[in-house]
Amino acid sequence: MVYTLTTDGALGSDGEVRLLRTTVLNSLKGPKPVRQHGTSPTSPTPPTSRVLSALRTPTAPRASPRPPSRRLRAPLLVAVALFSCLAASGGVAAADPGDGGGGGVGGGGGGGGGGGWRTAAGAAQSVRPLGDVVPAPASVRPGGKPYAITGSTRIRVDDDSREARSVGTYLAGLLRPSTGYGLRITDDRPGRGHGDDVIRLRLVSGDRDRALGDEGYRLESDRDGVTLTAREPAGLFHGVQTLRQLLPAAVERDSRQRGPWKVAGGTITDKPRYAYRGAMLDVSRHFFSVDQVKRYIDQLALYKINTLHLHLSDDQGWRIAIDSWPRLAAHGGSTQVGGGPGGYYTKAQYRELVRYATSRHLEVVPEIDMPGHTNAALASYAELNCDGVVPPLYTGTAVGFSSLCASKEITYDFVDDVVRELAELTPGRYLHIGGDEAHSTSHEDYVEFMRRTQAVVGKYGKKVVGWHQLTGADPVKGAVAQYWGYDATGAAERAQVAEATKGGTKLILSPADRVYLDMKYDRNTQLGQSWAGLVEVNRSYDWDPAAYLADAGVAPGAVLGVEAPLWTETLSTSDHIEEMAFPRLPGVAEIGWSPQSARDWDTYKYRLAAQGPRLTALGIDYYRSPVVPWPAE
């Protein structure tokens, strides 16, 4: 039996001893060079190395240091004792990135990343602690023997539910390439017990599980198998993402890997904090293909994001075919920032994106930004301009210079046609009408335009979403405002948003200096922008949506959820997307999913570090932030 001390001197979890143990092991190997884009690798001193160095005899006299606090004294002594025992026994070895492990329940550990650790005798510790996932689960109860997926494992779908079978097929598709196992999907009745060497998927409707809601799940693991229970298919799907993260990172590879494939014993009961957990991809400044968007969808699904907001139009490009106005795509979609061919989605391609997102339990929210950000449309049709003259196509990055002609009736024919065709293509509840940075539209014209456009959205059965400037134009009942302000946003603007919430408007929070994924990490970041400041990983994570606008008068219940926008003025490839999104996106996902009481940067950073080998296995070249203790890979 292994015990460890937490920072308050109490007995801690096995996850915490894994953290301490792995940190000490890593300190013996020396620090791992950290890649910061645009700079040479640096070698920051690991926290434990600094602690151990501080306990050594100094080479020169120095003032007596303040002794460590009572709360820190015990864990420091344990660290030194563990260091001494390992050194004396010869039981120190490098982490093995192929075996899983690392990380503590609810975020307490994680030095091991995708790997476990080995003693001198070579015994592998290959079971990742039950709570070592992102987002942090609402409830974790470790206990019992782990379950090992083997060649005889089956995926059993109770009652042959079509929806559950679809999730089972997805799970099998994830696990087969790396494990090499067949993982037959069956609806065979269970034998004694609830296991029988199966991964069991259950959809239930009883009162006992009512608290799980539409997206919650329960994961139960013991030596006989794993059971995932949910009330809706989305819950099963989210449970699969947790199961996936409990397996070694090598499970993400697309070729056969060495196991074992173990899942820790115990029970996770989990559901989201917010119903709306989104990510926006700007396909207008630079166009991204169907396959590139699908790749991003798969990455979002891993972290339980449930909404993909597609920014389909802007000054630089119109990206969706509209039959009644064909030049929008053919001409308005023909370029992008910096020039180049641009592109657009045919209706069939857009439907395929929606279908694919739906299969990953993401709802697509299309955005047509109006009345500003419309140069691509204005360049396509002269009649949309007040002076009847088409402007040239635009490939720069300025904002606020374009506007639909709010005084022309044909403008509203255009709006009606575009909204109608887009609504027909989109099964989701929302349609985003933009409304930001309309600096070339008078206030009176803006209010009238948004009034009429909101009515059109309702006419075709969709709920209105707009950027938070919509709150200055009488949002309709049920409208949602997406707040992208930041620390420099004025009090009057914040008060306007708060006042709208008192009338029933809900908020999606996307503060630019927290979750705009195109903001630079630091001064050396080559991609992205910095107008909202530099946004390191800890800053992106360390805020509470319920409290964010409380000082302006926004009640916690007015917050529908959070969304991480990714603007692409400087991004043109999937590698660019992934460098800027990761590792910040998992933190935004946790903000939207996990209870605030389960969130703390000092523990989250270890769970995030444990995601590093998984991201690598997925082919994601993420930013190695120096504020995260990444494991050696």
Indicate whether 79 pLDDT > 80: no
Indicate whether 555 pLDDT > 70: yes
SS3 459: helix
Residue 207 is predicted with a pLDDT of 84
Encoded tokens for 5: 């001390």
d(CA 274, CA 450): 27
- Do 336 and 287 form a contact (C-beta atoms < 8 A)? yes
- Do 283 and 169 form a contact (C-beta atoms < 8 A)? no
Sorting pLDDT into bands at 50, 70 and 90, what band is 411? very high
The mean per-residue pLDDT over the stretch 369-375 comes to: 99
- Residue 444 CB partners (closer than 8 Å, separation 6+): none
Indicate whether 75 pLDDT > 50: no
Fold of 147-270: Chitobiase; domain 2 (3.30.379)
CA 56 remoteness from chain centre: 42
- Do 509 and 483 form a contact (C-beta atoms < 8 A)? yes
The mean per-residue pLDDT over the stretch 274-289 comes to: 99
Residue 229 is predicted with a pLDDT of 98
Residue 557 is predicted with a pLDDT of 98
d(CA 30, CA 47): 12
Indicate whether 158 pLDDT > 70: yes
Mean of the per-residue pLDDT values for the chain? 85
Please state which of the ranges 79-88, 462-471, 502-511, 594-603 shows the lowest mean pLDDT. 79-88
Residue 261 is predicted with a pLDDT of 98
- Do 253 and 180 form a contact (C-beta atoms < 8 A)? no
Alpha carbons within 13 angstroms on the beta-carbon side of residue 356 total: 18
d(CA 417, CA 411): 10
Indicate whether 37 pLDDT > 70: no
Q: What Å distances lie between residue 379 and 52, 187, 286, 346, 411, CA to CA? A: 65, 57, 18, 20, 14
Fold of 276-593: TIM Barrel (3.20.20)
Please state which of the ranges 104-113, 195-204, 367-376, 605-614 shows the lowest mean pLDDT. 104-113
What DSSP assignment string belongs to 346-365? -HHHHHHHHHHHHHTT-EEE
Residue 550 is predicted with a pLDDT of 98
Residue 190 is predicted with a pLDDT of 57
d(CA 630, CA 69): 27
The mean per-residue pLDDT over the stretch 42-58 comes to: 33
Residue 102 is predicted with a pLDDT of 33
Q: What Å distances lie between residue 473 and 106, 154, 374, 447, 505, CA to CA? A: 43, 56, 19, 5, 12
What DSSP assignment string belongs to 218-247? EEEEETTEEEEEESSHHHHHHHHHHHHHHS
Sorting pLDDT into bands at 50, 70 and 90, what band is 119? very low
**Active-site annotation holds for 437:** yes
Catalytic residue, from 437, 448, 493, 499: name it: 437
The mean per-residue pLDDT over the stretch 468-476 comes to: 98
d(CA 368, CA 383): 18
Residue 110 is predicted with a pLDDT of 35
- pLDDT tens by residue, 572-623: 999 999 999 999 999 999 999 999 999 999 999 999 999 999 999 999 999 9
Please state which of the ranges 43-52, 485-494, 514-523 shows the lowest mean pLDDT. 43-52
Indicate whether 108 pLDDT > 90: no
CA-based nearest residue to 515, from 553, 451, 564, 455? 564
- Do 105 and 18 form a contact (C-beta atoms < 8 A)? no
Residue 104 is predicted with a pLDDT of 34
Count Cβ atoms below 10 Å from residue 524 Cβ, excluding itself. 12
Residue 161 is predicted with a pLDDT of 87
Residue 191 is predicted with a pLDDT of 53
Domain residue spans of the chain: 1-59+70-131+599-633, 147-270, 276-593
pTM: predicted TM-score of the whole model, two decimal places: 0.82
- pLDDT tens by residue, 321-332: 999 999 999 999
Sorting pLDDT into bands at 50, 70 and 90, what band is 62? very low
Q: What is the DSSP letter of 471?
A: G
